[in-house]
Amino acid sequence: MAIQVLMPALSPTMEEGTLAKWLVKEGDTIKSGQIIAEIETDKATMEFEAVDEGIVGKLLVPEGSAGVKVNTPIAVLVEEGESADASPATAAPAPSAAPAAAAAPAPNYPAISAPVETKADTTPDWPAGTAMKTMTVREALREAMAEEMRANDRVFLMGEEVGEYQGAYKISQGLLDEFGAKRVVDTPITEHGFAGIAVGSAWGGLRPIVEFMTFNFAMQAIDHLINSAAKTNYMSGGQLGCPIVFRGPNGAAARVAAQHSQDYAAWYSAIPGLKVVMPYSASDAKGLLKSAIRDPNPVIFLENEILYGRSFEVPVLDDFTIPFGKARVWREGSDVTIVSFGIGMTFALDAADQLAKEGISAEVIDLRTLRPIDYETVIASVRKTNRCVTVEEGFPVGSIGNHLAAVIMQRAFDYLDAPVVNCTGKDVPMPYAANLEKLALITTAEVIEAVKSVCYR
Amino acid sequence: MATKKSPEKSNVSKDELLSYYREMLLIRRFEEKAGQLYGMGLIGGFCHLYIGQEAVVVGLEAATKEGDKRITSYRDHGHMLACGMDPKGVMAELTGRIGGYSKGKGGSMHMFSREKHFYGGHGIVGAQVPLGAGLSFADKYLGNDNVTFTYFGDGAANQGQVYETYNMAELWGLPVIFVIENNQYAMGTSVKRSTKSTTLFGRGLAYGIPGEQVDGMDVLAVKAAGEKAVAHCRAGNGPYILEMMTYRYRGHSMSDPAKYRTREEVEKMRSEKDAIEHVRDLLVNAGLATDDDLKAIDKDIKAIVNDAAEFSKESPEPPVEELWTDIYA
């Protein structure tokens, strides 16, 4: 039975090409795999191999022909004694040009798709009357890990100096003694390698917590955080979720200069498939880290060295978690909404205190998680105060504040009495000199100034 | 036929030889069909064919037991077929249809099967090496005797993360077999143009990992080496490296004109070292199978591949809702 040979697509973008040269002539017997023609694509001259075997009955397109569309019949193969003029079988049927019906249009801004009416979740994080104790963020993080490791023997901690050294920042102090070297794994200084091993171990049934000594070093490993951990559940059609926590200090500490002082909040928050947490208080550090360890997805947990030693009230509860995607309103107010997260909350709350003395009532929202973001609480607040200032330590371009400004514009445009202002770190690598470092970082004074500007004061 | 292998080098059974023949032929015919569907525009993007390297995965799969894992790069169709994944599901993934292993969302380079312990299909050169070591980390942690086969090419063998992984795998005694599929070309760069090392497995010795070079065109040699490596790993001796000397007949991907090597070089490998012809010779010369027996297998395989191609065309594209599913577990 005669078989049509079709003009092949030989690159991901090829729609037509030049049939540069025939390497066979009519009457030749060819076998599967034999090179029968040279075809010029947009990129290169390619050898074209026969898929089927047979006798070349007819060359339909002469060599030198340019602009031959993909899937045009270019030759006919026949069997012994068969005529090329016999109507060729459709052994290689041309594909339908558009295999699917026109796709339904995707929503315009699906990442923030939500009912237009906002319904902020204002339930308290713990029952009224719960006993509280004072605890540093460091202690809270350690308690969260220890509790989850006690509860699930598949949870383990891995990283540089987490074991015998007791943690570069002492977050893992005591864990080696309690859980042993099998579950508190000291690694060589090889972020790329151990991040990949941790992701593989999560696919293999474990629940790794990976400590980066700082998130600056995670840039060595970022391919595994994004390409391996975040994308594989999607790429596998839901077969391969990756329950893993990457945690460690993020952002500027003090006088460690540009390579050790970057806030990655906006970078990781840009990636579908990741969850991103950036706690401020000790109770959030504990409740959110416990949620992160239980989450079936990769979680980027951004801590802050300066906050490690700060003390907060933490509820005394057997099993205390904070859900992702629920912001916390630290202070209610009526004149302006200040949205922040992580160490930015220090400046947001300071500014609110001082502004109150000047008669400006600021509502202060701690996002706590950046993916998912609790848009509802932000939008509800902005619809009430009609003004918004965002505060973060990261770079200004492509910041979380930029994103919030866009969302607020889409969902609360008619409520705004002033443009949203983003307070961020400066658009410079972090300088070492004490005076310049101070200028590069966000300050309470800048937040106050921004609030006054949106209040036209 | 032209292969110069001696049939008496192994007293392997007829059934075993027939199964190798069948499995290698399935991969080859499948890949030829994939190339054809690519030419027709039914498969898009990148498509890296495994033609020529079939003996590597078929030989090593013969050394596995249930529970063992495998992970590889983007040249992954052969690995999937060899570990028993359904050709229909693989081909439908290549065409981007809902019937594919990843519901059409992964494509040629990103396919997985939990059921068959196949962990991809990874598009970033070398990334699968620590990931594979991580799978074996989990097995060791959980206290079972499973082994992970971590495949990568001579190109990936120059990536830094490979050596970070060697170091930790040996340090922690992980049950992982690193399989370097040395097909002699990293895309268009020959091994000679990318390293002064004369062997790739030898680099593992610096980390304390034993290894060897194997004729990757000889399925029996591959299987024997695989069994040795598996025994090493299962006994708790840590990782092992197998450098499989192999060859791909086609370009790096479908859009590679392969101008970096001569047609004669490819032809020589095909005519003198072909893995499938080798087994065919063993079967025929020893009187274990007739031409007719083998033709019957060819026919079976052709039918399986045609069914897979048919399925991959008929399976619908994923419904639009799939855009938004599986982002989170």
Which of B38, B168, B326 is the closest to A188 by Cβ? B168
B306 touches chain A (CB under 8 A): no
What stretches of B143-290 show up as alpha helix (H) in DSSP?
Answer: 160-171, 191-194, 219-234, 263-273, 275-285
Distance from C-alpha of B59 to C-alpha of B75, rounded to nearest angstrom: 17
- Spell out the residues 6+ positions from residue A430 whose beta carbon is closer than 8 angstroms to its own: A252, A256, A257, A258, A260, A261, A262, A437, A440
Tell me how crowded residue A303 is: count the other CB atoms within 10 A of its CB. 27
Q: What is the mean pLDDT of each run of 10 residues along chain A (457 residues)?
A: 86 87 92 84 81 88 92 90 61 44 47 58 93 98 98 98 96 98 98 98 98 97 98 97 98 93 97 98 98 98 98 96 97 98 98 98 98 97 98 98 98 97 98 96 98 96
Distance from C-alpha of A408 to C-alpha of A410, rounded to nearest angstrom: 5
* Phi, then psi, of A54 in degrees rounded to 5: 160, -165
- Spell out the residues 6+ positions from residue A46 whose beta carbon is closer than 8 angstroms to its own: A10, A38, A39, A40, B255, B257
Q: Is the domain of A308 the same as that of A334?
A: no
- Give chain B's mean pLDDT: 95
% of chain B exceeding 90 in pLDDT:
92
Query: Is the Cβ pair B102, A236 closer than 8 Å?
Result: yes
Q: Is residue A258 part of a domain?
A: yes
Q: Indicate the residue type of A293.
A: I
* ipTM given for this complex: 0.95
Indicate the number of domains in chain A: 3
Name residue, tokens 């990457």: A246
Distance from C-alpha of B328 to C-alpha of A37, rounded to nearest angstrom: 47
B206 touches chain A (CB under 8 A): no
Q: What is the CATH number of the domain that holds B298?
A: 3.40.50.970
Distance from C-alpha of A203 to C-alpha of A242, rounded to nearest angstrom: 6
Token pair in block for residue B3? 């292969």
Q: What is the CATH number of the domain that holds A176?
A: 3.40.50.970
- What are the beta bridge partners of residue A338? A364, A389
Token pair in block for residue A193? 């390698």
Distance from C-alpha of B118 to C-alpha of B57, rounded to nearest angstrom: 12
User: Which residue range(s) make up the domain with B304?
Assistant: 34-310
Residues from chain B contacting residue A234 (CB–CB below 8 Å): 105, 326-327
Residues in chain A: 457
Interface A-B: count of C-beta contacts within 8 A: 212
Token pair in block for residue A73? 């019949």
Q: Is the domain of A138 the same as that of A189?
A: yes
Considering the candidates A191, A363, A393, A446, report the single residue annotated as catalytic.
A191
Q: Is residue A124 part of a domain?
A: no
Q: Is the domain of A203 the same as that of A271?
A: yes
Which of B44, B101, B123 is the closest to A237 by Cβ? B101
Q: Smallest Cα–Cα separation from B203: which of B182, B172, B188, B232? A: B182
Which of A14, A192, A241 is the closest to B164 by Cβ? A192
Residues from chain A contacting residue B124 (CB–CB below 8 Å): 223, 227-228
User: Which residue range(s) make up the domain with A347?
Assistant: 328-454
Identify the pLDDT of residue A86: 52
Q: Is the domain of A153 the same as that of A296?
A: yes
Q: Is residue B326 part of a domain?
A: no
A204 touches chain B (CB under 8 A): yes
Binned at pLDDT 50, 70 and 90, residue B254 comes out as: confident
Q: Tell me the C-alpha to C-alpha distance, in Å, between residue A431 and each of A191, A252, A254, A427, B162.
A: 25, 11, 10, 11, 35
Identify the pLDDT of residue A97: 43
Identify the pLDDT of residue A96: 44
Q: Is the domain of A361 the same as that of A383?
A: yes
How far B170 CA lies from chain A's nearest CA (Å)? 12
Spell out a b/e string for A127-154, using b for 16 or more CB atoms within 10 Å of the CB, else e: eeeeeeeebbbbbbbbbbbbbbbeeeeb
Give SS3 for A430.
coil
CA-nearest residue of chain A to B306? A91
Which of B104, B134, B259 is the closest to A196 by Cβ? B134
A41 touches chain B (CB under 8 A): yes
| Cβ–Cβ < 8 Å for B156, B179 | no
Q: Is residue B216 part of a domain?
A: yes
Q: Is residue B44 part of a domain?
A: yes
A182 touches chain B (CB under 8 A): yes
Query: Is the Cβ pair B328, A103 closer than 8 Å?
Result: no
Q: Is the domain of A278 the same as that of A385?
A: no
How far A309 CA lies from chain B's nearest CA (Å)? 33
Q: Is residue B3 part of a domain?
A: no
Half-sphere exposure of A319 (CA within 13 A, CB side): 6
Q: Is the domain of A285 the same as that of A415?
A: no
Of A53-62, B163-172, B174-183, B294-303, which gets the smallest average pLDDT?
A53-62
Tell me how crowded residue A31 is: count the other CB atoms within 10 A of its CB. 9
Identify the pLDDT of residue A85: 67
Q: Tell me the C-alpha to C-alpha distance, in Å, between residue A286 and each of A138, A143, A154, A377.
A: 9, 7, 19, 22
Query: Is the Cβ pair A236, B141 closer than 8 Å?
Result: no
Query: Is the Cβ pair A188, B164 closer than 8 Å?
Result: yes
Q: Is residue A396 part of a domain?
A: yes
Based on the residue annotation, tell me whether A403 is a catalytic residue of this protein.
no
Q: Is residue A348 part of a domain?
A: yes
Q: Is residue B158 part of a domain?
A: yes
| Cβ–Cβ < 8 Å for B14, B289 | yes
Q: Which of residues 116-175 of B touch A (CB under 8 A)?
A: 119-124, 127, 129-139, 141-142, 160-161, 164-165, 167-168, 171
Q: Indicate the residue type of A149.
A: M
Q: Is residue A334 part of a domain?
A: yes
Identify the pLDDT of residue A43: 75
Distance from C-alpha of A78 to C-alpha of A422, rounded to nearest angstrom: 71
Give SS3 for B245.
strand
Identify the pLDDT of residue A102: 46
Of A315, A349, A383, the residue at which a domain comes to its end is: A315
Q: Tell me the C-alpha to C-alpha distance, in Å, between residue A312 and each of A248, A309, A346.
A: 19, 10, 13
Query: Is the Cβ pair B134, A198 closer than 8 Å?
Result: yes
A320 touches chain B (CB under 8 A): no
How far A42 CA lies from chain B's nearest CA (Å)? 10
Identify the pLDDT of residue A115: 46
Q: Is the domain of A142 the same as that of A233?
A: yes
Considering the candidates A139, A260, A303, A393, report the single residue annotated as catalytic.
A260
Of A45-49, B125-129, B261-265, which gets the smallest average pLDDT?
A45-49
Binned at pLDDT 50, 70 and 90, residue B16 comes out as: very high
Q: Is the domain of A344 the same as that of A311?
A: no
How far B254 CA lies from chain A's nearest CA (Å)? 6
Name residue, tokens 């400006």: A360
Q: Is the domain of A168 the same as that of A238?
A: yes
Q: Is residue A147 part of a domain?
A: yes
Q: Indicate the residue type of A437.
A: E
CA-nearest residue of chain B to A207? B138
CA-nearest residue of chain B to A11? B255
| Cβ–Cβ < 8 Å for A299, A275 | yes
Of A61, A78, A95, the residue at which a domain comes to its end is: A78
Query: Is the Cβ pair A239, B102 closer than 8 Å?
Result: yes
Q: What is the CATH number of the domain that holds A365?
A: 3.40.50.920
Q: Indicate the residue type of A20.
A: A
Which of B137, B142, B317 is the closest to A200 by Cβ? B137
Which of B122, B134, B327 is the closest to A272 by Cβ? B327
Q: Tell me the C-alpha to C-alpha distance, in Å, between residue B178 and each of A444, B75, B148, B187, B322.
A: 54, 16, 8, 20, 35
Q: Is the domain of A195 the same as that of A284?
A: yes
| Cβ–Cβ < 8 Å for B182, B153 | yes
Q: Is residue B11 part of a domain?
A: no
Q: How far apart are the first and last CA of chain A?
A: 87
Q: Is residue A450 part of a domain?
A: yes
**Stretch B167-188: mean pLDDT:** 97
Q: What is the CATH number of the domain that holds A54?
A: 2.40.50.100
Q: Is residue B204 part of a domain?
A: yes
Indicate the number of domains in chain B: 1
Task: Tell me the DSSP string of A85-127.
Answer: TSPPB-SSPPPPS--SPPPPPPPSSGGG---SS-------SS-
Q: Is residue B9 part of a domain?
A: no
Per-residue pLDDT at B32 exceeds 80: yes
Q: Is residue A111 part of a domain?
A: no
Q: Is the domain of A361 the same as that of A253?
A: no
